[in-house]
Chain A
Amino acid sequence: DAKTTQPNSMESNEEEPVHLPCNHSTISGTDYIHWYRQLPSQGPEYVIHGLTSNVNNRMASLAIAEDRKSSTLILHRATLRDAAVYYCILRDEGRGSNYKLTFGKGTLLTVNP
């Protein structure tokens, strides 16, 4: 499975934008880029996903590099509730085991008041 690389931790201030990077240099053509986050003492929750084009939803935006070897999750205005571990995951939709999410250690985001 293609792997992702994320910084161990990042810090942000409340109400400022946050850009969470993810490198996936071995991404294949059928890999979708998924982001999940895990709040303290909670299970992971889906944030956003995309293939090639940038994506927006109510939670965040996903910016995907033109060569698809990296992507950035953008939180437009961080709140204290956004403090969580953020996981960047590749799901190969061309394989039969696409249901299986392979989590790394993710990025621990700290939001300062």
Chain B
Amino acid sequence: GAGVSQTPSNKVTEKGKYVELRCDPISGHTALYWYRQSLGQGPEFLIYFQGTGAADDSGLPNDRFFAVRPEGSVSTLKIQRTERGDSAVYLCASSFDRDSEAFFGQGTRLTVV
């Protein structure tokens, strides 16, 4: 379909390992967002891209988290030295521009063991 695609859908990794989570936004959407959702909670904002640049990364919890969007389309969320507390569903969303409704992907469920 033409929705937001996230891969993988599930990722299990060992504590201390590095992981990359990928997001393919809807074609033509200039704005892209990452959110994180813990069990029983609503999604929490992590970072917002306008085009290739991170316009707001104030939600990233610490410097182990980093995200890129080099060509203004696909984005990758990178987590170094994973911890058990990083276990959550990571959601990506895109919108035509910052004022338009956001379309979310199905998320990547990350489990750190």
**Chain A interface residues toward B at CB < 8 A:** 41-46, 49, 85, 87, 93, 97-106
Contacts and interface: CB of A to CB of B under 8 A. Distances in A.
Contact of B31 (A93, A99, A106): A99
A94 B59 CA distance: 21
Given A41-B106, A43-B91, A44-B104, A98 B42 contact: no
B14 interface: no
Contacts of A100: 45, 48, 56, 59
Interface of B: 4, 31, 33, 35, 40-45, 48, 56, 59, 91, 93, 95, 98-99, 101-107
Contacts of B99: 93, 98-99
A46 B101 CA distance: 7
Contact of B42 (A45, A46, A97, A103): A103
A87 B56 CA distance: 23
B43 A101 contact: yes
A45 B95 CA distance: 12
A46 B31 contact: no
B42 A104 contact: yes
A87 B42 contact: yes
Contacts of A46: 101-103
Contact of A43 (B40, B44, B98, B105): B105
Given A87-B42, A105-B40, A97 B56 contact: yes
B22 to A, nearest CB: 15
The 10 lowest CB-CB distance pairs between A and B, nearest first, are A103-B42, A43-B104, A99-B98, A46-B101, A103-B43, A44-B104, A100-B45, A43-B91, A43-B105, A43-B107
Contact of A99 (B48, B91, B104): B48
B26 to A, nearest CB: 13
